[in-house]
Amino acid sequence: MSFFLKVLVVGDVATGKTSLVNRLVSNVYNEGYKATIGCEFGFKVVEIEGETVRVQLWDLAGQDRLGGISKLYCRDAHGALVVCDVTKTETIAKTTKWKAQVSEYARCSDGSEIPMVLCMNKADLLDVSPAQERLDHQGKEGGFTQVFLTSAKTALNAETAFESLVKAVMQKRAELPPTVVDGRSQNPGGGLKLARQAVDTKSPKRKCC
Ligand SMILES: Nc1nc2c(ncn2[C@@H]2O[C@H](COP(=O)(O)OP(=O)(O)O)[C@@H](O)[C@H]2O)c(=O)[nH]1
Ligand SMILES: [Mg+2]
């Protein structure tokens, strides 16, 4: 049995979201800055505890410039990588805002937040890395599942952060009861499907943003 997950990649402009997706999906890094225009998707397959998990990564489609995200983008998301530039404090401060925006449109069937992992990116630019305890504290305060110093440039922790998110989503799936609508399970085997989508029959069909 394999699982399909939708993972959002959110955060301020130029924090390295597209670079992280490229690192995860193709294991490449491009130095040049090219703003993401339109929808960009990455696809990555991972084995987690013997299960094949197919993950669609949804890069922000220029919505980082507008400072907000759409309901359609968040729809049915199972988890998110929230990215900041570790050398720019204003982008770190904004991570809680991005997390709150995701939570507005994407929640688990029990109403809890979907797992979100904080990627403090561009760690290769730091002379001295903050202690893990400080990172853990920051993550706890912000309500993140976990926090990692990452670098799309050197690949530091990119896979680790991604896999920890997928693991957290799979764990949540196992813990939550299935969503039942009209006596039919919307998600046999676990509560990953979002309650809001399960009961929202009037929504337009999913389309590219
Ligand atoms: N030093 C360093 N630069 C990075 C890293 N990730 C991205 N960048 C650079 O930061 C700029 C913005 O990256 P991009 O992925 O387009 O950011 P996005 O707007 O969040 O998608 C580009 O010039 C990248 O080359 C990183 O881990 N380390
Ligand atoms: Mg981008």
Give CA–CA dist 184/178, Å, rounded: 10
List all residues whose CB is within 6 A of at least one atom of ligand 1.
13-19, 31, 33, 36, 64, 121-122, 124-125, 151-153
Distance 188 CA to ligand 1 centre (A): 39
With tokens 């990564």, the residue in question is 57
Residue-wise pLDDT tens digits, 41-67: 899 999 988 889 999 999 986 677 776
CB atoms within 10 A of CB 34: 8
Give CA–CA dist 152/132, Å, rounded: 19
Question: Does some domain include residue 200?
Answer: no
Question: Does some domain include residue 90?
Answer: yes
Query: Which whole number is the average pLDDT over 55-82?
Result: 85
The pLDDT value recorded for residue 207 is 43
Predicted confidence band of residue 3 (pLDDT cuts 50, 70, 90): confident
* Closest ligand 1 atom, residue 152 Cα: 27
* 56: CATH: 3.40.50.300
Residue 170 confidence (pLDDT) above 80: yes
Structural domain including 70 reads 2-175
Domain count, the chain: 1
Distance 59 CA to ligand 2 centre (A): 7
Residue 173 confidence (pLDDT) above 70: yes
Which ligand sits closest to the CA of 10? 1
Q: Kindly list the distances between the CA atom of residue 113 and the CA atoms of 185, 199, 205, in Å, as whole numbers in the listed order.
A: 21, 18, 24
Question: Does some domain include residue 164?
Answer: yes
> If we measure between CA atoms, which residue out of 158, 123, 159, 153 comes closest to residue 33?
153
Which ligand sits closest to the CA of 124? 1
Q: Helix H segments across the chain?
A: 17-26, 63-66, 71-74, 89-93, 95-105, 132-142, 158-175, 195-199
* Closest ligand 1 atom, residue 15 Cα: 20
Question: Does some domain include residue 180?
Answer: no
CA-closest residue to ligand 1 atom 9:
16
Please, how many CA atoms are within 13 Å of residue 94, restricted to the half-sphere of its CB?
Answer: 17
**Residues around ligand 2, an ion, CB closer than 5 A:** 17-18, 36
Question: Does some domain include residue 151?
Answer: yes
Distance 15 CA to ligand 1 centre (A): 6
Distance 13 CA to ligand 2 centre (A): 7
Residue-wise pLDDT tens digits, 118-159: 999 999 999 999 898 889 998 999 999 999 999 999 999 999
Question: Does some domain include residue 195?
Answer: no
Q: What is the percent of the chain with per-residue pLDDT over 90, rounded to a whole number?
A: 59
Q: What is the pTM of this model?
A: 0.86
Question: Does some domain include residue 39?
Answer: yes
The pLDDT value recorded for residue 206 is 45
On average, the pLDDT of the chain sits at: 84
* Closest ligand 1 atom, residue 34 Cα: 16
Residue-wise pLDDT tens digits, 177-206: 766 666 665 554 444 553 333 333 344 444
Question: Does some domain include residue 196?
Answer: no
Query: Which whole number is the average pLDDT over 72-78?
Result: 91
Give CA–CA dist 9/69, Å, rounded: 11
Which ligand sits closest to the CA of 15? 1
Q: List the end-to-end C-alpha distance of the chain, in Å, as a whole number.
A: 30
Q: What is the DSSP letter of 79?
A: E
The pLDDT value recorded for residue 12 is 92
